[in-house]
Structure 1
Amino acid sequence: MSDIPTLTTERLILRQMQTDDWKAYFGFLASDRARYMGGPYSQVRAWGLFCSDYAQWGLFGFGGLMIQRRDGGPAIGQVSINYGPSFPEYELGWFVYPDAEGQGIAYEAAIALCNWARQTRRLPTLVSYVDPQNDRSRRLAERLGAVSDVDALRPDATNLVYRHYGRAHLRLWS
C-alpha cells in the first residue's frame, strides 16, 4: 500500500479513511444530496465507492482523504484525487456533510490536496467533473482558480469539466 499522507491546514486534518467513517459516508451517498454525484446510492454501491476511494492509494498513490476538524470529532466530508475507468483524467473531488457546508471546509481541503498532488506526486493538472446543476461545486471550482475546459474528456457527457492548472494556490496552513 502506498503511504497515505495526513495533511493539515489551519482548521483541518485530511487523513486516511477508517471503518468508523463508513456510516456518515454512506448516509451522505444514500441521501438526495448525492444526486450531483450519480446518487443516491444503495448500500452495496456506496460500499464499492468507499473501498475504491481507499484502494486507489495502493493502485495510484492517491485517493480519498477524510476531512476532520483539527479540534477533533468525526469526519465532516472527503476530498480526493480519483482516476481509473470512471475518471478519464486525474480528478480533484470533494464533498462535505450538511453541517459543514458554507464554512470554506471544501475549499481549504481542496487547496491542501491540490498542492500535495502537485508538489509530492507531480501531477501537472487536475480536473473536477461537476454536474451542471451543482451550483456550489461550480462556484468552488471557480474559486479554486479552475477554468472550464469544454474539450476535455468526461465520464458523463453532461458533466462540466473544470481544469486546475499548475498555478500556485494560496497556502492556508503552516
Structure 2
Amino acid sequence: MTSFTIPTVETERLVLRAPHQDDLPAMTAFFKTERSYMVGGPKDELGSWDSLAKRLGHWALNCFGLWHLTEKSSGAFVGWAGMIFAPGWDEPELGWTLMEQAEGKGLGFEAAQAAPHYAAQHQGLNGVMSYIAHANDRSRALAERLGATYEREAELLGKKAQMWRHPRITVSDTALTSERTGQ
C-alpha cells in the first residue's frame, strides 16, 4: 500500500487542505462553466471526479500538488491553489482557481501567497512560474500583486498562454520573506 501525507497550511482566513470527495459537487458545478476553460474544463461529473482523483495522485507522485481551500469563517470549499507539474508543463507551476462566489475578497492572493512560501521551504520549489490565459485579467492582476513579471508567450496543453515568473523566496530557518521589497 502506498501512503502519503498532504500537509495542511493555515492562513488568516483559509485552510489549505487535502482534496476531499465532499468537494466534488462544487467542482462539478465549476467545471460545467466556461470559467473552467484554462484548467481543463468544461467537464461533466465524471471528468470532475477524474480531476479530483488526479489531484490526490499528483501529491502521491510528486510530493506536492494543489490544496483545496476552505474559508475559515464559513467552512465553504472556495477553490484550490498550489503547485502543478505534469506532462505538458515546462516546469512546476503555481496555480490557483477560485469559485465565483469567493472572488474579490483577497482569498486568491492569500492562498497564492501561502502556497509558494510552503513550496519553497518544504518542497524545494522556488521562483516558480504561472501560466495565465490571455483573457484572464483577474489572474494577471493577481500575479502582478504577488510580484510576478511577464516572462514569455507559452502554450499549455494546446492552449496559448502567458508565462509569468514569481520572485524567488528567501528561505530561512525561522521565516520566509520575499526578495522583493514591500512583500
Provide TM-score, normalisation by structure 2: 0.85
Q: Aligned partners of 2:154, 2:102: CA distance in 1, in Å?
A: 31
Give runs of aligned pairs for residues 113-152 of structure 1, distance below 5 A.
113-150=115-152
The structure with the largest alpha-carbon Rg is: 2
CA deviation profile, 1:86-107 (whole Å, cap 9, x unmatched) = 3221011111111111001011
Could you tell me how far 1:84 is from its partner in structure 2? Answer: 1.3
In structure 1, the residue matched to 2:174 is none
- The one of 65, 78, 81 equivalent to 1:63 is 65
How many residues align structurally?
170
Between stretches 42-51 and 2-11, larger displacement belongs to 42-51
Q: Aligned partners of 2:51, 2:88: CA distance in 1, in Å?
A: 11
Gaps of 5+ in 2: 170-176
Gaps of 5+ in 1: none
Structural RMSD (CA): 1.9
Between stretches 155-164 and 2-11, larger displacement belongs to 155-164
The one-letter code of the counterpart of 1:35 is Y
Q: Aligned partners of 1:9, 1:155: CA distance in 2, in Å?
A: 32
Provide TM-score, normalisation by structure 1: 0.89
Give runs of aligned pairs for residues 25-174 of structure 1, distance below 5 A.
25-150=27-152, 154-156=156-158, 158-167=160-169, 168-169=177-178
CA deviation profile, 1:31-88 (whole Å, cap 9, x unmatched) = 1221233422233322222211121111011112111122342211111211110322
Aligned with 1:71: secondary structure? coil
Q: Aligned partners of 2:111, 2:63: CA distance in 1, in Å?
A: 18
- The one of 5, 8, 18 equivalent to 2:10 is 8
- Which of 1 and 2 has higher RCO (CA within 8 Å, sep 6+)? 1
Identify if the C-alpha distance between structure 1 residues 13 and 47 changes in structure 2 by more than 3 Å, giving closer, same or farther.
same
Could you tell me how far 1:157 is from its partner in structure 2? Answer: 5.4
Identify if the C-alpha distance between structure 1 residues 149 and 70 changes in structure 2 by more than 3 Å, giving closer, same or farther.
same
Q: Aligned partners of 1:142, 1:50: CA distance in 2, in Å?
A: 29
Q: Percent identity?
A: 34
Between stretches 137-146 and 64-73, larger displacement belongs to 64-73
